């Protein structure tokens, strides 16, 4: 039986050659939001390695939206132009270049993980204030965020619109809206981090408002033939927080606004949440969202083996698997997985001599 994992997937006018996508992974290695040789090699090697889509790390829509000073950004044309050679190389090697755009919210202004991940002072390149729906810090060691005003919200919406426009101009053929992992849009969704009393807080309808408004403006800034993904945390893993039922309601509305795929993840909002991690632990969320909304989904989280990934897609639990750490360990995982699954895929011509082995 032909491999489902290595069958093509079409969303709008874009056809992905297979269903192995590179999950966006922050590299914390940019300068003023501009990519460099590290990003070219990091992203380009995953295209050479056979992935169907290579999604660039969470790319900030504004300087204050960065998670760390080393994050990439797409708030100006210098950044956009520096990304064009990367997207072209990805296309030239048979993959679809994607970009995740987002705002770090109350989790902004932190050091790279290998530097400890603590708050960065202004002298070290940090900034003040960090923004959030409510003045509730992420953890006891985090900065107290500033509650966003109506004007702040208007600016964020416009920043997302401009980021989407520049992403298309840079050559990305898929855009992912980051509304997961405890960053700004997820903070608005969850009642644990959103305690506003205006039209952006309180009821589920109000807490979803910003994510839906941003989905609409991002979609309007994209050509009709390019797909829009949305990454969601299906649950906060904390009672009384964001959960699967609310996720499903949000997805139904995202679909009407023109979203094309839900990148289903979980967690990230609460620093001490108990997450029962293990192989494929987030797959049931993808399967439930897909079943109850009819929306194409991807899944991520401790997916490491070719047969595991094949089973997820072949049984309809997700349309796509996103690999993160496994593709850091082995950029050529898709080529090896195709061999394991008996799928006939093209290798890069300079590597063709190694295909038989």
Report residues of the chain scoring pLDDT below 70.
Answer: 356-357
Q: What is the pLDDT of residues 42-62, one digit of tens each?
A: 999 999 999 999 999 999 999
User: What is the Cα–Cα distance from 279 to 235, expressed in whole angstroms?
Assistant: 17
Please tell me the predicted confidence (pLDDT) of residue 329. Answer: 97
Query: Which residues are within 8 A (CB) of 10 and not within 5 positions of it... i.e. 6 or more apart?
Result: 16
- Per DSSP (E only), the strands in the chain are 9-11, 14-16, 20-22, 53-60, 96-102, 131-132, 146-147, 174-179, 228-233, 261-265, 297-300, 320-323
Burial class (CB in 10 A: 0-12, 13-18, 19+), 45: middle
Contact 272, 301 (CB under 8 A): no
Question: CA end-to-end span of the chain, whole Å?
Answer: 22
Kindly write down the DSSP assignment for every residue of 9-26, as one continuous string.
EEETTEEESSSEEEPP--
Please tell me the predicted confidence (pLDDT) of residue 355. Answer: 84
Give the DSSP letter of residue 73: B
Is 28 noted as a catalytic residue in this protein? no
Please tell me the predicted confidence (pLDDT) of residue 357. Answer: 60
Contact 105, 130 (CB under 8 A): yes
Q: Is the peptide bond before 326 cis (omega within 30 degrees of 0)?
A: no
Q: Which of 183, 200, 271, 332 is catalytic?
A: 183
User: What is the Cα–Cα distance from 38 to 43, expressed in whole angstroms?
Assistant: 9
Whole-prediction pTM: 0.97
Give the SS3 label for residue 59: strand
């Amino acid at each position: 039986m032909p491999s489902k994992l290595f069958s093509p997937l079409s969303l709008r006018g874009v056809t992905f050659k297979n269903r192995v996508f590179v999950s966006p992974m922050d590299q914390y290695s940019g300068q003023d939001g501009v990519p460099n040789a590290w990003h070219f090699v990091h992203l380009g090697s995953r295209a050479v390695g056979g992935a169907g889509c290579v999604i660039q790390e969470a790319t900030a829509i504004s300087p204050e939206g960065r998670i760390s000073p080393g994050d990439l950004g797409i708030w100006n044309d210098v950044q956009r132009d520096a990304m064009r050679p990367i997207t072209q190389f990805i296309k030239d090697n048979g993959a679809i270049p994607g970009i995740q755009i987002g705002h770090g919210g109350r989790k902004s202004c932190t050091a790279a993980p290998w530097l400890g991940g603590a708050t960065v002072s202004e002298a070290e390149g940090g900034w003040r204030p960090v923004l959030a729906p409510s003045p509730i810090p992420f953890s006891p060691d985090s900065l107290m965020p500033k509650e966003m005003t109506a004007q702040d919200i208007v600016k964020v919406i416009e920043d997302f619109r401009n980021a989407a426009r520049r992403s298309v101009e840079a050559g990305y053929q898929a855009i992912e809206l980051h509304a997961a992992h405890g960053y700004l849009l997820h903070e608005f969704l969850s009642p644990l981090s959103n305690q506003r009393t205006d039209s952006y807080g309180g009821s589920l309808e109000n807490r979803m408002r910003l994510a839906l408004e941003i989905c609409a403006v991002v979609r309007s800034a994209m050509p009709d033939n390019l797909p829009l993904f949305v990454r969601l945390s299906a649950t906060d893993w904390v009672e009384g927080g964001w959960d699967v039922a609310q996720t499903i309601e949000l997805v139904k509305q995202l679909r009407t606004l023109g979203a094309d795929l839900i990148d289903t993840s979980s967690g990230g909002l609460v620093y001490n949440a108990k997450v029962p991690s293990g192989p494929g632990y987030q797959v049931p969320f993808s399967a439930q969202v897909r079943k109850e909304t009819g929306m194409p989904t991807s899944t991520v989280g401790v997916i490491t083996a070719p047969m595991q990934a094949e089973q997820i897609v072949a049984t309809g639990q997700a349309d796509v698997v996103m690999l993160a750490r496994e593709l850091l360990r082995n950029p050529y995982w898709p080529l090896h997985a195709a061999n394991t699954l008996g799928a006939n895929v093209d290798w890069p011509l300079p590597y063709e001599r190694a295909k038989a082995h």
